[in-house]
Amino acid sequence: MTHVTTHILDATAGTPAAGVDVSLQSADGTPRGSGRTDADGRLALGPEALEPGDYALTFATGDYFAAQGVAAFHPSVTIAFTVADRPHYHVPLLLSPFAYTTYRGS
């Protein structure tokens, strides 16, 4: 299992958000991984282990909603988080065209 996973749920449709481009970068902007959510809105990315420090996931939410013909307020969502000593980090995103929320998953 990779060190970072995510899951996106489109709260307006009540379905997983498939086909969303996601990138992982370290605090200095160095790319650490990227990919696209699968049909279940899930993605594992990055190396098998990350050094402790600050990282960010950036979700191409504007492109996702545009592909559905839906106007959206956030062209992208960036979630910053800190890696400490856990073996796995799950960073879910609950998404709508005008709001989002996240939390530290398990």
Q: Tens digit of pLDDT for each residue in 33-44?
A: 999 999 999 999
CA-CA distance, 99 to 90, in Å (whole number)? 20
Residues in the chain: 106
Domains in the chain with CATH codes:
4-102 (2.60.40.180)
pTM of the model: 0.94
Distance between CA atoms of residues 39 and 25, nearest Å: 24
The two tokens of residue 60 are 């191409």
- CA distances to 89, 91, 92, 99 from 44, rounded to whole Å, are 10, 10, 11, 23
Q: pLDDT grade, residue 58 (50/70/90)?
A: very high
